[in-house]
Amino acid sequence: MSDDILYAWHPAIAATEIDAETFLVEPDSGEVYYLDEVSSALWRFLTQYWSQSEIVETFTAAFPDTAAASSLR
């Protein structure tokens, strides 16, 4: 894992939350993306910059029943 890269949400992406789910709209294409409960939590978490290891550690603790992905892209 590389901690040289920090991740955060992109401010141009419009987000709408409904219950524990989030819908993102990409401004250039108008594409809508659906985020489930775990990915919605990640989107909210990314209001600050975090390294990959910090993200994995936090979400492994917060969602112990959810399998961790092998890497972020």
The residues spanned by each domain of the chain are 6-62
Task: State the pLDDT at residue 49.
Answer: 93
Distance in angstroms (rounded) separating the CA atoms of residues 46 and 8: 5
pLDDT of 13-59, one tens digit each? 999 998 878 999 999 999 999 998 888 888 988 999 999 889 888 98
Name the pTM for this structure: 0.70
Specify the pLDDT at position 26.
92
Pairing between β-strand 14-18 and β-strand 6-7 as defined by DSSP bridges: unpaired
- pLDDT at residue 3 above 60? yes
pLDDT at 73 over 70: no
Instruction: State how far Cα 56 lies from the chain centre.
Output: 11
